[in-house]
Amino acid sequence: MKKSKDTSNFAMIVREFKQDKGATFFLFLLSALILFIYIYAAFLDTKKVMQVDILNGYSSPGKNGHLLGTDQGGRDVLKYLVLGARNSLNIGVTITLIVEMIGIAFGLVAGYYGGLVDNIMMRFLDFMMLLPMLMLVIVIVSIIPNYNMLDFILVMSAFLWVGTARLIRSKALSEAHKEYVYAAITSGSRPWKIMLFDMLPNISSLIIVDLILSLTSNIGIEVGLSFLGFGLPDSVPSLGVMIGLAQDPDVMTGSPWVWIPAAVLILVLCVGISYVGNVVRRAFDAQQRLG
Amino acid sequence: MWKTILRRVLLMIPELIALSILIFLLAKLMPGDPFTGMVTPETSPQAVEALRIKAGVYDPWYVQYWHWVVRMFHGDLGMSYQFKTSVGSLILSRMGNTIWLSLLTLILSYSLSIPLGLLAGRYENTKLDKGIMIYTFVAYAIPSFVFYMLGVWFFGYKLKLFPTSGSVSVDATGTFGYLLSRLDHMILPACLQAVLSVTAVVQYLRSEVIDNKNQDYVKTARAKGVPEKTIFTRHIFRNSLLPIAAFLGYSITGLLGGSIFIEQIFNYPGMGLLFMDSILNRDYSVITALVLLYGTLTLIGSLLSDIILSLVDPRVRIG
């Protein structure tokens, strides 16, 4: 072990990235990609991009000024891709933030109180884990009348917080028996203050890692549901819908430019984000650190 | 031992009840009633109303729930409005396809992940280990359906190695030809699913092997001159493999959940595709039955895992 006692979390992460060339590459690739997506999308008008122009349908890449060609409705694939990726990222981030908040609150309360409270809350968690999540989301989405993006985010969050809650609870359970918590209790702090200002900072590294890693899986689930046709409403561009077009064999083989870019983009985003997440996790774990 | 199993089974009962109440309430929220599929345009509204009262549509929800449970225990899951048959026989006819595909996937997945896990553990921190770890990492990170789509496109359409939809071809003749055709249709989806589902087993097995490497029994074996190869293939292998058995229950659950994507993409007529068809056609009695079935199977899968684990590892037993 080198001198690592008084280095901040941030310095630790920076050093870990310096040690791992692949991670640095992914970090730059991801940042560039995300910057490009957001900046380009800011200049695009969703309504204009979504406008159907049948006459121009399925034109191959490079023709008529469409860099990546057009889909069945004559929409520019590149523009659709950028808007879809931005939506997927936005929704992924929103769901992840909601899910983390619920999970942290649930986990901290269960871990702090322990005993009977923890037991009851864990029974509930166990039950939530059993639910066939994918099916239930599809069923709920299909019976909500006039369903919109907010509904989708709420339905997803209602099921996805369970994993985070479990993780936070197991860490909080061990934190709750440390001396600083006893000291805070003895000095008369209120429970919510102990949880929020004493325990939370001590599990922050775990939360950061979980944030990054669950972002990948949340994006994956959103894209998957959109692929099946039960994700974002039809009027919203989505990467999943684009890949879903390839369920028609003619599109799959006849005009691969419609769906392959979306498939590759989602692969790069998911692998990149989890790679970066893994490096951050390694940085926080003294036993696995490279540098 | 038996105490643990009994306790686990008893814990399952409230979960099962909660699950069925949840699904029952969800079913109530769905449009339509038990007569969808029986009512024809000629039926008079009065007759429908009489039927409704007789069936207890206006009873309080817990009374209806009770009747629903009783009916279910009699095997009466309602009628499918789309296929005009009873839901029970409809699901049974599709269940076989899903089970066979899952079984093949499970076999392929384990025969891929066990050697990889053992190798990664034995040659810890070498290039081989790093390669395997990168593979499991990527397999975990990517959304499965994107991989399946690329797989169908490449192996099915570009190379034309495998059929891309259905479960058996129309022109298959004879028992043997029929079986061969079935297998041919299952190979690509099963392989694609297996390749992606290795992560948990490989990583667990690897860390088990690494843990076992420094155990006393291994040192003893080495000291008495057992060849290094035999130590790994016999001594460590056996000890590391047992906990893997416990993954089996969870694997079954995972496969069932994944069946929606794989069956949709390959147009493979199993329960996942039935679910998607029923959703699109608003065939609510089938949907309710399938959600309940998947939930129950998940429960049984986790029960199975816990029982296997307590058989294998005495430490998790309760006194």
- Assess whether pLDDT exceeds 70 at residue B245: yes
Q: One-letter amino acid identity for B84?
A: K
Give chain B positions within 8 Å (CB) of A255: none
- Assess whether pLDDT exceeds 50 at residue A1: no
- Assess whether pLDDT exceeds 90 at residue A45: no
Looking at residue B319, its pLDDT comes to 44
Of A116, A103, A109, nearest in space to A191 by CA = A109
CB contact under 8 A, B149 and A274: no
Average pLDDT over residues B261-279: 90
Looking at residue A96, its pLDDT comes to 95
- At residue B306's C-alpha, the angle toward residues B300 and B312, to 5°, is 135
Of B305, B313, B98, nearest in space to B201 by CA = B305
- Assess whether pLDDT exceeds 50 at residue A238: yes
Shortest Cα–Cα distance, A263 to chain B (Å) = 6
Residues near B310 by beta carbon (within 8 Å), at least 6 away in sequence: B1, B4, B5, B8, B316, B317
Give the containing element (helix H, strand E) for A179.
helix A179-186
Task: Tell me the residue range of the domain where A229 lies.
Answer: 2-289
* Sequence-separated contacts (24+) of B313-319 with Cβ below 8 Å: B313/B242, B313/B243, B313/B246, B316/B4, B317/B1, B317/B3, B317/B4, B318/B3, B318/B4, B318/B7, B319/B3
CB contact under 8 A, A223 and B137: no
**A154-205, pLDDT tens digit by residue?**
999 999 999 999 999 999 998 998 999 999 999 998 999 999 888 998 888 8
**Minimal Cβ distance to B146: which of A131, A142, A267:** A267
Q: pLDDT confidence of B315, banded at 50, 70, 90?
A: low
Kindly report the backbone phi and psi dihedral angles of residue B86, in degrees, each rounded to the nearest multiple of 5, phi listed first. Answer: -75, 145
**Minimal Cβ distance to A270: which of B15, B142, B153:** B142
DSSP A189-213: --HHHIIIIIIHHHTHHHHHHHHHH
**Beta-bridge partners for A81:** none
Looking at residue A2, its pLDDT comes to 46
Looking at residue A64, its pLDDT comes to 62
CB contact under 8 A, A223 and B149: no
In this structure, the dihedral spanned by the alpha carbons of residues B129, B134, B135 and B138, taken in order and rounded to 10 degrees, is: 160
Domain count within chain A: 1
Place of tokens 């089996």: B248
Is A75 in a helix, a strand, or coil? coil
Is A70 in a helix, a strand, or coil? strand
Query: What number does CATH give the domain B97-284?
Result: 1.10.3720.10
Average pLDDT over residues A2-16: 68
CB pairs under 8 A between A and B: 100
Q: Which residues of A5-34 are buried (b: 16+ CB within 10 A; e: fewer)?
A: eeeeeeebbebbbeebeebeebbeebeebb
**Minimal Cβ distance to B294: which of A135, A256, A263:** A135
CA dist A18 → A7, A12, A259, A290, B236 (Å): 15, 10, 35, 10, 37
For residue A209, give the CATH number of its domain.
Answer: 1.10.3720.10
In this structure, the dihedral spanned by the alpha carbons of residues A75, A81, A87 and A89, taken in order and rounded to 10 degrees, is: 180
Average pLDDT over residues B31-58: 67
DSSP B207-227: HHHHHHHTSHHHHHHHHTT--
Residues near B115 by beta carbon (within 8 Å), at least 6 away in sequence: none
**Minimal Cβ distance to A132: which of B29, B145, B294:** B294
Looking at residue A281, its pLDDT comes to 86
Please state, in angstroms and rounded to a whole number, the distance separating the CA atoms of residues B240 and B218. Answer: 12
Alpha carbon A166 to its chain's center: 17
Contact B275, B221 (CB under 8 A): no
Looking at residue A3, its pLDDT comes to 47
**A105-154, pLDDT tens digit by residue?**
999 999 999 889 999 999 899 889 888 888 999 999 888 877 888 888 99
**B166-207, pLDDT tens digit by residue?**
777 777 677 788 888 888 888 899 999 999 988 888 988 898
Give chain A positions within 8 Å (CB) of B290: 135
CA dist A194 → A70, A112, A115, A190, A203 (Å): 56, 9, 18, 6, 13
Please state, in angstroms and rounded to a whole number, the distance separating the CA atoms of residues B109 and A250. Answer: 31
CB contact under 8 A, B279 and A230: yes
Residues in chain A whose beta carbon is closer than 8 A to a beta carbon of chain B?
126-127, 130-136, 138-140, 142-143, 216, 219-221, 223-224, 227-228, 230, 243, 246-247, 249, 252-253, 256, 259-260, 263, 266-267, 270-271, 274-275, 278
Give chain A positions within 8 Å (CB) of B20: none
Looking at residue A7, its pLDDT comes to 62
Q: Tokens standing for B265?
A: 């993409």
Please state, in angstroms and rounded to a whole number, the distance separating the CA atoms of residues B27 and A134. Answer: 16
**Minimal Cβ distance to B143: which of A133, A220, A259:** A220
ipTM of the complex: 0.85
- At residue B317's C-alpha, the angle toward residues B312 and B319, to 5°, is 145
Q: Which residues of A130-148 are buried (b: 16+ CB within 10 A; e: fewer)?
A: bbbbbbbbbbbbbbeeebe
Q: Which residue has the higher pLDDT, B241 or A28?
A: A28
Dihedral sign for Cα atoms in the order B210, B214, B215, B220: positive
Residues in chain B whose beta carbon is closer than 8 A to a beta carbon of chain A?
15, 18-19, 22, 26, 29-31, 137-138, 140-146, 149-150, 152-153, 157-158, 164, 256-257, 260-261, 264-265, 275-276, 279, 282, 287, 290-291, 294-295, 298-299, 302
Give the containing element (helix H, strand E) for A47.
helix A46-50
Please state, in angstroms and rounded to a whole number, the distance separating the CA atoms of residues A289 and A18. Answer: 12
Please state, in angstroms and rounded to a whole number, the distance separating the CA atoms of residues B141 and A117. Answer: 35
CB contact under 8 A, B141 and A259: no
